[in-house]
C-alpha cells in the first residue's frame, strides 16, 4: 500500500503538467495548435504553478481510484475465481468491473481536476476571484455552474475508457504472473 502511494505521488508529479497541456489542447476552441505553444503560453501567462494547480486533486482522485480499483478486483476474484487459478475470463471481467466502479466513484474528482487544469471560461465567469485555485474552490464552482449533476458529467465516457484499460492491465498482469510462477515451479521440480 505504501509503495502504491509513493508511486502515485511520483507518477502524478511527473504527469500533471502533461495532463494540463492535454486538457487545454482538447478544449473546444482551444487557442493552441501545438504542444509547445500551449506550454509557452501557460508558463508565460500563469506561471509554473499552473502546471500543478490540480496536483492535489489528482492525488486525491488517484489514491481513492487505485484503492477502489484493487479492492473491487480482489473482491470479484474471490467471487468469480475463489481458487485463484489462472482464468483469463475472470481476470478480464473482474478488471473491467473494477475499473468501472473506480472510475464512476471518482468522477466528481476528475471533473474538478479538469476544471482546475482548463480554467474554463463559463466557470471562471461564475467565480468571484476569476481564477479557480484548489480543490475546495473547484468543488464550489462546479456546483454553482451545474449543481450536483455537474459532478458526474462525462461519467459514461470515463467508465467506457477505464473498463478496457483495466481489463487489459489485469489480464496481462495475471498472464505474466502465471507464466513466471509456472516457470519457477518447473525449475524447482527440475532440481
Write out pLDDT tens, residues 145-173: 889 999 999 999 999 999 999 999 999 99
Q: Which three cell numbers stand for residue 144?
A: 454553482
Q: Is 174 helix (H, G, I), strand (E, B) or coil?
A: helix
Reading the block at residue 151, the C-alpha cell is: 459532478
Output the pLDDT for position 33.
87
Q: How far apart are CA 143 and CA 147, in angstroms?
A: 4
Nine-digit cell string for 138: 473547484
Question: What gap in Å lies between CA 70 and CA 176, rounded to an integer?
Answer: 18
- 115 CB-side CA count, 13 A: 35
Buried b (16+ CB within 10 A) or exposed e, 112-139: bbbbbbbbbeebbeebeeeebeebebbb
Give pLDDT, residue 119. Answer: 72
Helical ranges in the chain per DSSP H: 2-26, 35-46, 55-80, 88-105, 107-118, 121-126, 135-146, 155-190
pTM score, two decimals? 0.76
pLDDT tens per residue, range 21-32: 988 888 777 888
Question: What's the whole-number mean pLDDT along residues 75-100?
Answer: 96
Q: pLDDT at residue 116 above 90?
A: no
Length, in residues, of the chain: 191
Contact criterion met (CB below 8 Å) for 35 and 52: no
pLDDT of residue 137: 84
Amino acid at each position: 500500500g505504501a509503495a502504491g502511494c509513493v508511486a502515485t505521488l511520483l507518477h502524478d508529479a511527473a504527469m500533471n503538467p502533461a495532463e494540463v497541456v492535454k486538457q487545454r489542447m482538447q478544449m473546444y476552441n482551444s487557442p493552441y495548435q501545438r504542444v509547445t505553444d500551449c506550454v509557452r503560453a501557460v508558463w508565460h501567462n500563469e506561471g509554473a504553478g499552473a502546471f500543478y494547480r490540480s496536483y492535489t486533486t489528482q492525488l486525491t482522485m488517484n489514491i481513492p481510484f487505485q484503492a477502489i480499483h484493487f479492492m473491487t478486483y480482489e473482491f470479484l476474484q474471490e467471487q468469480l475465481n475463489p481458487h485463484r487459478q489462472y482464468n483469463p475470463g475472470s481476470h478480464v471481467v473482474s478488471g473491467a468491473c473494477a475499473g468501472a466502479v473506480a472510475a464512476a466513484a471518482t468522477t466528481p474528482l476528475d471533473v474538478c481536476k479538469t476544471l482546475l487544469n482548463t480554467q474554463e471560461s463559463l466557470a471562471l465567469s461564475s467565480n468571484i476571484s476569476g481564477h479557480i485555485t484548489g480543490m475546495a474552490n473547484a468543488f464550489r464552482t462546479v456546483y454553482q455552474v451545474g449543481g450536483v449533476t455537474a459532478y458526474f458529467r462525462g461519467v459514461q465516457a470515463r467508465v467506457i475508457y477505464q473498463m478496457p484499460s483495466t481489463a487489459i492491465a489485469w489480464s496481462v498482469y495475471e498472464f505474466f504472473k502465471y507464466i513466471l510462477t509456472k516457470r519457477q515451479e518447473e525449475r524447482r521440480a527440475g532440481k
